[in-house]
């Protein structure tokens, strides 16, 4: 039973997809979404002071930082160029950007369950909703329909 199909590896260059602004000069790009798997891979450029609501992950997350500095309020360590971060399913944290032009890839499985100050669920974000948000902003900005890897 030799395999006869050889699927292609797919490359997305640094400038192949546009960034959209998500507030105060911080940026978002969605690279890949496997809807049925709950997988979403994004790249962010954050500016100092940008915050992402406290959230809990329902699957594992892997963060690859390439410039700048950011941290979680709940931890002391700071992610800088070359940092790798592993966030197991169930982990909870609040992202804060420390330096301008902080660049990070996040490979995420499952949803972000956003929590309010009392720990109640405020909202849920996942790959499908992030993709729709990204595509809507791209359309609004006149960027057309970017070639995100979607299945």
Binding residues for a copy of itself (CB under 8 A) = 1-15, 31-32, 34-38, 41, 43, 56, 58-60, 62, 64, 66, 72, 75, 77, 79-93, 105, 107, 109-111, 113, 121, 123-130, 132-133, 149, 151
For the CB of residue 36, give the shortest distance to a copy of itself in the complex, in Å: 3
Query: Bridge-partner residues for 65, per DSSP?
Result: 104
For the CB of residue 151, give the shortest distance to a copy of itself in the complex, in Å: 7
Output 48 or 125, the one with its CB closest to a copy of itself: 125
Output 34 or 48, the one with its CB closest to a copy of itself: 34
* Dihedral of alpha carbons 136, 142, 144, 148, sign: negative
Query: Checking phi first, is residue 76 left (phi over 0); if not, alpha (psi -120 to 50) or beta?
Result: alpha
- Per residue in 109-145, is it b (16+ CB within 10 Å) or e — as a string? bbbbbbbeeeeeeeeebbbeebbeebbebbeeeeeee
Output 100 or 103, the one with its CB closest to a copy of itself: 103
Q: Quick check: helix, strand or coil at residue 36?
A: helix
For the CB of residue 24, give the shortest distance to a copy of itself in the complex, in Å: 18
């Amino acid at each position: 039973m030799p395999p006869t199909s050889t699927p292609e590896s797919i490359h997305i260059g640094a400038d192949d997809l546009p960034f959209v602004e998500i507030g105060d000069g911080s940026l978002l790009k969605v690279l890949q979404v496997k809807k049925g798997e709950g997988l979403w891979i994004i790249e962010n450029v954050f500016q100092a002071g940008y915050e992402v609501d406290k959230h809990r992950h329902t699957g594992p997350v892997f963060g690859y930082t390439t410039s700048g500095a950011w941290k979680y309020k709940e931890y002391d360590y700071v992610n800088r160029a070359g940092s790798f971060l592993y966030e197991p399913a169930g982990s909870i944290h609040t992202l804060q950007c420390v330096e301008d032009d902080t660049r990070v890839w996040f490979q995420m499985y499952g949803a972000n369950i956003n929590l309010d100050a009392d720990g109640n669920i405020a909202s849920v974000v996942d790959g499908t909703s992030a993709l729709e948000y990204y595509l809507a902003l791209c359309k609004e900005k006149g960027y057309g329909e970017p070639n995100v890897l979607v299945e």
